[in-house]
């Protein structure tokens, strides 16, 4: 018995797992560039979010048809990959369909279920390719996806179609060899499978040796495709397949309209109004808001890596709809790009060396930030609970409090709030005069 296939399989598996682990650790390092923050409260609600939003894709079902297709792709791909466990064991031990020994009937039920899901994944991927490239759904054809992001989505869909086709062809050639009683294929027959057996007429004319070549080629290409897909994920928007779960768990649980105030700023105002309350060792905050990804929290950065680039946030954004430069999707993509660039800088230099760039200005512009109405539409629509608004607010804080960079209209409002305790240019003593006019 030759052990060469097993040795080759072990080497390929080790390389694939090592490369994937190395990139995932780099992404973890990039996320932890953000400031520390505690999101361990209310664990019951957090696990509920994981169950309903990450697993159940609750927010996707606002559009039931698209949600069902996406669910089939998601559930199908995850569940079918249970079958990868059998391939890995077979590859390590040199066995053939080792799980079929559990029980023929149950095993056939499992594979038939996997094949049904494979067909739904195939059909859904074809429909999504048509939506993106033929129908050109508006949120999937916007300029912020030009270049790699648009190609990335197509590559993933095509890869899933190829993997499902390989899976079905492998099963079809395998069951044909079982029917013919050829070699070890006939030793433990599983019977035909519902969907792959439809391919039998296409393969029936092949000789036994040719069928073995087809089955083995599909087996190897399927597992190599899985390994390639695994290592492509960290470079793709489809990393959300993994990160949607921790992102749902660490979601912000406060009401969406509640802004995170800076206690340091509140204390500064308090001490200005009541100096006697200021502690002797009071020091002003080093920075206000965020100018760089290191000024954001690690959860903001996890948000950026979890972004699916689906565009539902931008489709709901009044600024985007009315032609403003702002796109919440691009805010997340730009934040992720900056993290990646900082990570490459660290890899090259051992530590971050100033490259003369910052997230604010170089990756996200002032015009984009000023266009935001803070309506929370993007937060409401995101299927994985991402909050572009938090990043926008922190960057605007830096603009205004660090750079005094605000439009004249905003400065007038700030002055009125400071002097009159309201956005309008009326003295507090005159604020209730309108009541007397009704009497």
Distance CA 133, CA 153 (A): 11
290-407 domain in CATH 1.10.1060?
A: yes
Query: What local confidence, expressed as pLDDT, does residue 359 receive?
Result: 96
Contacts of 99 (CB under 8 A, 6+ apart): 86, 89, 107, 110
Distance CA 179, CA 341 (A): 56
Query: What local confidence, expressed as pLDDT, does residue 429 receive?
Result: 76
Distance CA 416, CA 346 (A): 45
Query: What local confidence, expressed as pLDDT, does residue 332 receive?
Result: 95
Query: What local confidence, expressed as pLDDT, does residue 368 receive?
Result: 94
| pLDDT band, residue 103 (cuts 50/70/90) | low
Q: Lowest mean pLDDT: which of 267-281, 324-338, 399-413?
A: 267-281
Burial 212-235 (b: 16+ CB within 10 A, else e): bebbeebbbbbbebbbebbbbbbe
Q: What is the pLDDT of residues 327-349, one digit of tens each?
A: 999 999 999 999 999 999 999 99
Average the pLDDT over 19-33 and give the result: 95
Average the pLDDT over 254-273 and give the result: 77
Average the pLDDT over 40-69 and give the result: 85
pLDDT(433) > 90:
no
Tokens representing 227 are 């390994």
Q: What is the pLDDT of residues 156-169, one digit of tens each?
A: 889 989 999 999 99
Tokens representing 169 are 């062809």
């Amino acid at each position: 018995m030759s052990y060469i296939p097993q040795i080759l399989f072990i080497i390929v598996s080790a390389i694939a797992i090592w490369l994937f682990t190395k990139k995932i650790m780099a992404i973890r390092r990039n996320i932890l560039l953000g400031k520390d923050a505690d999101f361990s409260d209310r664990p019951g609600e957090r696990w509920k979010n994981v169950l309903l939003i990450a697993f159940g894709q609750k927010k996707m079902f606002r559009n039931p048809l698209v949600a069902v297709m996406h669910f089939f792709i998601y559930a199908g791909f995850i569940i079918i990959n249970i079958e990868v466990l059998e391939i890995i064991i077979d590859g390590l031990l040199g066995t053939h369909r080792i799980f079929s020994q559990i029980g023929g009937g149950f095993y056939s039920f499992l594979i038939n279920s996997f094949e049904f899901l494979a067909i739904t994944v195939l059909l859904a991927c074809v429909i999504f390719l048509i939506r993106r490239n033929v129908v050109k759904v508006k949120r999937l054809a916007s300029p912020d996806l030009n270049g790699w992001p648009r190609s990335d989505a197509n590559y993933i869909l095509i890869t899933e179609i190829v993997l499902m086709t390989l899976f079905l062809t492998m099963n079809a050639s395998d069951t044909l060899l079982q029917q013919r009683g050829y070699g070890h294929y006939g030793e433990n027959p599983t019977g035909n499978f519902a969907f792959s057996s439809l391919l039998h007429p296409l393969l029936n004319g092949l000789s036994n040796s040719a069928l073995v070549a087809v089955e083995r080629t599909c087996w190897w290409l399927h597992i190599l495709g899985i390994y390639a897909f695994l290592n492509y994920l960290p470079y793709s928007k489809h990393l959300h397949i993994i990160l949607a779960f921790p992102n749902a768990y660490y979601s912000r649980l406060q009401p969406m309209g509640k802004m995170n105030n800076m206690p340091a700023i509140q204390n500064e105002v308090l001490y200005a109004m009541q100096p006697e309350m200021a502690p002797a060792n009071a020091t002003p905050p080093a920075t206000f808001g965020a100018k760089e990804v290191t000024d954001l929290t690690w959860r903001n950065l996890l948000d950026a890596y979890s972004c699916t680039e689906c565009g539902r946030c931008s489709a709901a954004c009044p600024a985007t709809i009315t032609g403003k430069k702002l796109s919440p999707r691009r805010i997340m993509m730009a934040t992720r790009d900056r993290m990646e660039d900082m990570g490459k800088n660290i890899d090259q230099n051992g530590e971050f060396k100033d490259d003369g760039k910052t997230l604010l200005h170089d990756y996200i512009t002032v015009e984009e930030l000023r266009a935001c109405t803070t309506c929370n539409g993007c937060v409401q629509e995101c299927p994985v609970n991402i909050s572009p608004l938090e990043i926008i607010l922190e960057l605007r804080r830096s603009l205004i409090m660090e750079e005094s960079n605000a439009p004249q209209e905003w400065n007038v409002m700030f002055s009125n709030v400071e002097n009159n305790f309201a956005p309008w240019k009326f003295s507090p003593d005159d604020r209730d005069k309108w009541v007397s006019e009704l009497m």
